[in-house]
Amino acid sequence: MEIPVVDLSNFINGTPEQKHDFVMQLGKAYEEIGFVAVKNHGITDAVISNVYKQVEDFFALPETVKKNYEKPELAGQRGYTSFGTEHAKGYDAPDLKEFFQFGQIVENNDPIKSEYPDNVFVAEIPEFLPAMQQAYKGFEFSGFAMLRAIALFLDLDENYFDKHVINGNSILRAIYYPPITEEPKTAIRAEQHEDINLITLLVGASADGLEILSKSGNWVPVTSLPEQIVVNVGDMLQRLTNNRLVSTTHRVVNPGKDKWNTPRYSMPFFLHPRSEMSLACLESCITEMSPKSYEDYTAGEYLDERLREIGLKK
């Protein structure tokens, strides 16, 4: 499936007509598919190349060294999470992956800083954390612009999301799917799931495998060009919009046997709001044809529930 392609520069720097067209294209895609490919997203090739180099160097470290950066008490929200720890909601078999997570750095006196653990410094690769931080800031900038377009599509104030996402609980996750060395019992690289957050920005997966579940019930491979990022709706935004915008089920499948020796690297940026944001369905999205579908939750309550469901929090 060639998912719809939108040009973010038309929203940030375009004419009023280009900006309006971007908003409508994005909104229509998120109502129907839940995924778009974004070009001119503002995250430079140099930033992407550098962070991927550091990520590959980290995952090449011996397992005993990587384990030094695993902090179970942080529920996988910072540092390393070893292979076979996380599973999709509703599945017992763990995904065939390991990952490292980098989170928000609060640089002002915002009291929310007390909610966030420190990021985990990797002594063997001193450039690792600076590269992750640079990429994180780039994703934040692009993600905030996408949310402003979404707000306009929903007939909200353009800056509706700003107060909820500035210093929000967003996560940059570097994922490594190792080569497959034996027949997997039940798991695939990442079992079918929906993302927890508002939107996810995904850059430069190093091998094929991402598939989305179409409305007809078929699994369809997702393709995008190297200079594009894929941005999809998460469950928090689906809840907020009472299912108007679609958090589409997706997965990462194993390659054919002839490519089992091929590792896969991927780097999603999970754009989360601040914990106190209400996810109560927007009144404008509740109608006689679409009655309210969800209980009122805060983002923090919902994240906590989902982390327990996927095995990262006990």
Q: Which residues pair with 166 in a beta bridge?
A: none
Q: Supply φ then ψ for residue 173, to 5 degrees.
A: -110, 120
What is the structure's pLDDT at 32?
92
User: What contacts 33, CB < 8 A, 6 or more positions away?
Assistant: 3, 4, 212, 246, 248
Query: Is residue 270 within 8 Å of 173, Cβ to Cβ?
Result: yes
What is the structure's pLDDT at 76?
81
What is the structure's pLDDT at 83?
86
What is the structure's pLDDT at 191?
72
What is the structure's pLDDT at 88?
64
Query: Is residue 293 within 8 Å of 243, Cβ to Cβ?
Result: yes
Measure the CA–CA gap between 232 and 101, rounded to whole angstroms: 19
Fold of the 5-309 domain: Jelly Rolls (2.60.120)
Query: Is residue 27 within 8 Å of 150, Cβ to Cβ?
Result: yes
Strands (E), the chain: 5-7, 35-39, 79-81, 98-103, 171-177, 190-193, 199-203, 210-213, 219-221, 229-233, 250-252, 264-271
What is the structure's pLDDT at 25?
97
Full pLDDT tens readout for the chain, 314 residues: 568 999 999 999 999 999 999 999 999 999 998 999 999 999 998 999 999 999 999 999 999 999 999 998 888 889 999 987 766 676 666 777 899 999 999 988 899 999 999 999 999 999 999 999 999 999 999 999 999 999 999 999 999 999 999 999 999 999 998 887 777 666 666 677 789 999 999 986 544 678 888 877 888 888 767 788 999 999 999 999 999 999 988 887 776 777 778 888 889 999 999 999 999 999 999 999 999 999 999 999 999 988 887 777 66
Domain range summary for the chain, segments of one domain joined by +? 5-309
